[in-house]
Amino acid sequence: MAKLSPEDLQSIKDLQSKYNQTIFEIGVAEAQRIAIEDQLEKILENKKGLVSDLATIEKKESELIAALQVKYGQGTIDAETGEITPVQ
């Protein structure tokens, strides 16, 4: 029976090893992709909540401005000092 030379056998083993390592690395890359997608989904959910919070804040701001205009009249408020500069 014919037999491969040790060099040829080693070439086959080297290719098989490289093949197996590449398949393994593809699996690792896929696992990393899945983890990153999960993180992105969590970030997007968090952002959605923050955007909702922002809308609520803007609504409350509009309501406060309207109430202050009724109470003090039209003007610009200095948020640091509380001073109101009436609109001319």
Residue-wise pLDDT tens digits, 8-67: 999 999 999 999 999 999 999 999 999 999 999 999 999 999 999 999 999 999 999 999
User: Residue 19 domain-assigned?
Assistant: yes
Q: What angle do CA 18, 23, 25 make, to 5 degrees?
A: 90
Residues 6 or more apart whose CB falls under 8 angstroms from that of 85 comprise 75, 76, 77, 78
Q: For residue 75, which phi and psi values (nearest 5 degrees)?
A: 175, 180
Residues 6 or more apart whose CB falls under 8 angstroms from that of 86 comprise 73, 74, 75
User: Residue 1 domain-assigned?
Assistant: no
Residue 13: give the domain boundaries.
6-86
Pairing of the two strands 84-86 and 75-77: antiparallel
Number of separate domains in the chain = 1
